[in-house]
Amino acid sequence: MNQSVFRLTLPILFGYLPLGMAFGVLFTTQLDYPWWAAPLMGLVVYAGAGQILAVSLLAVNAGLLEVLIAMFVLNARHLFYGLSLLGQFRGAGWRKAYLIFGLTDETYSLLTSRSRSGDRHHEQAVDFRITLFNQCYWVAGCAAGALLGANVTFDSTGIEFALVALFIVLTIEQFRALGDSFPIWTGAAAAAVATFLLPAAHQLIGAILMVTLVLLIQYRRLRSARLQEGLEHG
């Protein structure tokens, strides 16, 4: 199982190591705190954009209430991820808390895109490994970046494109599994609108709100169409 999970999470490794390192470098070069606080944040917070924002908040000694609100707003998109995993995580026992804790953009993408067998207990164990592997990559990246500081010599410019490529591949796979391109176009259009209208920090949550709204409208229309049909045939 470990080998197949490693294969599945390999693109995340290529994305998380450099991004985690970027955070680690930023942390030690901008702040006066001990280096190990960077991997510690990767361990207990585990949020890419959130941790980068945390560095700038730490630098200005931001008030804790402000930190709480800023972090919640920045990560608010995760509120919608759980909705599609309620059934999948049901009955996962002790693993469940960790599965929820580790629900980053990338882990969510893998967990909702991969093919599954009928054996739910086994699939939850695989989900758990995927989440754990991903976090290991992230923490390792944070630690490496913090230790190396500004002395990073390997020119890895652009390697984080692995995550963009992963999202593209998973979009194609989602389309194949669903056989319906409507949500794909909705997502892309919402993202385009959000990037034109909103500042970078609010683009993801703005686009997710738009997408959810469109899906709600679609749900209502489908339901009233079904009711109509029921009336005509009933």
Partner 1 sequence: MAESWYLAAFIGVTAIATFATRVIPFLFFERHTDHPLIKHLGRYLPAAVMALLATVFLQRSANWSADVPGLDALLPGLLVVVIHLWRRNALLSIAAGTIAYMTIQQLALVPA
Interface pick for partner 1 out of 52, 120, 147, 183 (rule CB under 8 A): 183
- CB nearer partner 1, residue 140 or residue 211: 211
163 sits near partner 1 (criterion: CB under 8 A):
yes
Stretch that binds partner 1, among 19-27, 38-46, 125-133, 134-142 (CB under 8 A): 38-46
Least separation, in Å, of the C-beta of 144 and partner 1? 19
- CB nearer partner 1, residue 87 or residue 234: 87
Q: Taking the chain, what is the end-to-end CA distance rounded to the nearest angstrom? A: 51
1 sits near partner 1 (criterion: CB under 8 A):
no
82 sits near partner 1 (criterion: CB under 8 A):
yes
How would DSSP label each residue in 67-102? HHHHHHHHTTTHHHHGGGTHHHHTT-TTHHHHHHHT
187 sits near partner 1 (criterion: CB under 8 A):
yes
Residue type, 196: F
139 sits near partner 1 (criterion: CB under 8 A):
no
Least separation, in Å, of the C-beta of 130 and partner 1? 14
219 sits near partner 1 (criterion: CB under 8 A):
yes
Which helix H or strand E contains 211, and what residues bound it? helix 200-233
How would DSSP label each residue in 89-137? HTT-TTHHHHHHHT--HHHHHHHHHS---S-HHHHHHHHHHHHHHHHHH
35 sits near partner 1 (criterion: CB under 8 A):
no
Per-residue tokens: 229? 């049909």
Per-residue tokens: 25? 């470098």
Distance CA(145)–CA(35), nearest Å, equals 9
Interface pick for partner 1 out of 81, 128, 133, 137 (rule CB under 8 A): 81
37 sits near partner 1 (criterion: CB under 8 A):
yes
10 sits near partner 1 (criterion: CB under 8 A):
yes
